[in-house]
A and B are shown apart, each in its own frame.
Chain A
């Protein structure tokens, strides 16, 4: 879909006079922008509070401007835990989200290629099972997954297993995920099979067909998937909460939750932390909005 193209009748002036059309348009703008500002209030308040002193937070009216940008809130938040700064959380999140993205792109594109291009027995049945797992909440299997990571030996950790390490947060991505396989398969199916046939006639093996025909053509779909995987990983709370133990392993989400326990009532510092954790996703969204919109419109992908 293209977000800029509305369905035809939305604004057709059916015999209305010109001035009424103009008035209607002004009203539409006013309503839409007012509603948009209403949606934005939590963000505006987060930003305003993060720049206020604590006295202003409790003294001045809620949506008043701060007496000046009090960046010291950000500094206090950043260095709140001594050696482990907020930067550590940030880098951990970045590392985990990047590994998830790489893993899912690799594994999902291979699996999707097999489902879309290579005929094999039981293909439909297997794909059906995969789709069925899509509607099962992952929380249902939290316990067995935890037991699995606790049973697998890990020579590099003190406990001898994977609890308290970051591996459970990203290693699974290299086995692929149902959403990614579904998204890419749909895209691969739309690629004319003649292209693959022509490559095979020229002597390409399946790997080469995948690598040199399908992957380059699927770039928009891969970008969409990458953005969503990155976002889910960046915003995830429950899984890091369960597996991480030490402060220096924390992701930004767990770090923020930890802040909440430390900074009770210190709203400016907390809002500063929330602002910093939102910056990467908001930047990504403003730059790549069309990929988000297309991804959701195509598959209903959502965090």
Chain B
């Protein structure tokens, strides 16, 4: 029974590893090729770009997204009338599909009469091509993702803020702490469990980016400037039917996430304070 479940969870991942050692187009029988797929990945410019873009996406969207949602949670943590309606405005992107909101973001970023270019034009800034511009493409995708991911992290931070006992602030005030002092010495340390938690979710999520890239690159496919790891897996496995090659990329993704999570969980002891 125990072995059965272990096999059920580990099975598919080991299957990915097994398939990654083959060359397989689903039509003919898989052919064992050893580590060839991995050797080819290292030389594949598109894969290296996918790796680079995903890393860039993670490095920017995780810290910026967390900082913004922490700020928003602090701002929304107020006892004023109508606060629940105000929160609804901020939380709405939570329930929307990336494809539906991606359509409107594609329109915002449209080089011809898109909202962004029109607003910037009013300020005298020249029009940009955003998604097709190699420099602006990734930041544009990140901006949309942060907008969409903001509510979930904010809700977790709000829950964390509301769990902090008011006495702690009173004690800090008695000891002469000002606003900044109370934030640094009470709020922030007691919020580290929430920060740890949102960090995990954001990190894992950022290695899964697919929908945003898919929808913003339509019609057509992502350029080398916007392709991500999961899109690379999709493209090779389910567009070109190179199952072995896609599996090798999947296994690389798995190893990256596993190592990152191990490092992240190991760091927990040093900076997360539980009450």
Contacts and interface: CB of A to CB of B under 8 A. Distances in A.
Given A6-B78, A9-B170, A144-B247, 17 more contacts: A3-B162, A5-B79, A33-B86, A42-B105, A132-B9, A135-B204, A142-B234, A143-B15, A150-B26, A237-B99, A241-B234, A241-B238, A261-B218, A270-B107, A277-B99, A282-B96, A286-B88
Interface in A35-84: 35-37, 39-43, 45-46, 49, 57-58, 61-63
Contacts of A286: 88
A271 B104 contact: yes
A297 B155 contact: yes
Interface residues of B, number: 94
Interface stretch (A123-131, A199-207, A211-219): A123-131
B39 interface: no
Contact of B79 (A11, A139, A302): A11
Interface residues of A, number: 89
Contact of B210 (A234, A237, A273): A237
Nearest to A139: B230
Interface of B: 1-2, 5-6, 9, 12-13, 15-16, 19, 26, 72, 75-80, 83-84, 86-101, 103-108, 110, 112-113, 115, 118-119, 147, 150, 152, 155-156, 158-159, 161-166, 169-170, 173, 182, 197-198, 200-201, 204-205, 207-208, 210-211, 214-215, 218-219, 230, 233-234, 237-238, 243, 246-247, 250-251, 253-254, 257-258, 261
Given A7-B77, A122-B2, A273 B90 contact: no
A285 B6 contact: no
Nearest to B89: A36
B170 A300 contact: no
A190 interface: no
Contacts, number: 270
Interface of A: 1-11, 14, 25, 28-29, 31-33, 35-37, 39-43, 45-46, 49, 57-58, 61-63, 121-122, 125-126, 129-130, 132-133, 135-137, 139-147, 150, 231, 234-235, 237-238, 241-242, 252-253, 256-257, 260-261, 264, 267, 270-271, 273-274, 277-278, 281-282, 284-286, 289, 292-293, 296-297, 300, 302-303
A212 B162 CA distance: 34
A96 B16 CA distance: 27
Contacts of A2: 162
Mostly, the B contact residues are helix
Contacts of A296: 152, 155-156, 159
A295 B197 CA distance: 14
Mostly, the A contact residues are helix
Nearest to A290: B84
Contacts of A62: 113, 115, 118-119
B118 A61 contact: yes
B162 A136 contact: no
A32 B81 CA distance: 12
